[in-house]
Amino acid sequence: MTKSVIHLAARDAFNFLQEHSQAVLVDVRSEMEFLFVGHPKEALSIPWRDAPDWEINPDFLARVRRATSLNRPTLLICRSGQRSLEAGLFLRASGFGAVYNVTHGFEGDLNDQHCRSSLNGWRFDGLPWEQC
């Protein structure tokens, strides 16, 4: 049995969520990123790593289990797709079935001017998002 994570581009992830009502989108960025940078509408905030020490959240697994289940499709998103991939591999190793990583995340890759949201990602694709 493979413990890999399935990768979906932001638009494909959005379409997947529309077609699979039981699927859950978990934003694994810090609470401050979720609140002040913005987040996909309907996303749950469960940080993988958070301030002040940026260690792995000891409650991450329990919170994801409460929010989803081992068998529901679980989509993970972060800023650029790296933390969500790390968190996804952790969930797969912890027994979760279908785990998806939103490649390029919410803000996407850096452009030549070191700015995000200009090449790819959830916000770049014009998908529904909100900011507190």
pLDDT digits (tens, 9 = 90+) for 19-57: 999 999 999 999 999 999 999 999 999 999 988 899 999
Query: Closest Cα to residue 59, out of 67, 119, 18, 42?
Result: 67
pLDDT digits (tens, 9 = 90+) for 90-122: 999 999 989 999 999 999 999 999 989 888 999
pLDDT digits (tens, 9 = 90+) for 59-77: 999 999 999 977 799 999 9
Query: Closest Cα to residue 83, out of 49, 107, 52?
Result: 49
**Is-above-0.85 flag for pTM?**
yes
Residue with tokens 């850096």: 110
Task: Say if CB 74 and CB 64 are below 8 A apart.
Answer: yes
Give the helix/strand (H/E) hosting 129.
strand 129-130
- For the chain, domains (ranges, CATH) are 6-127 (3.40.250.10)
CA count, 13 A, side-chain hemisphere, 20: 17
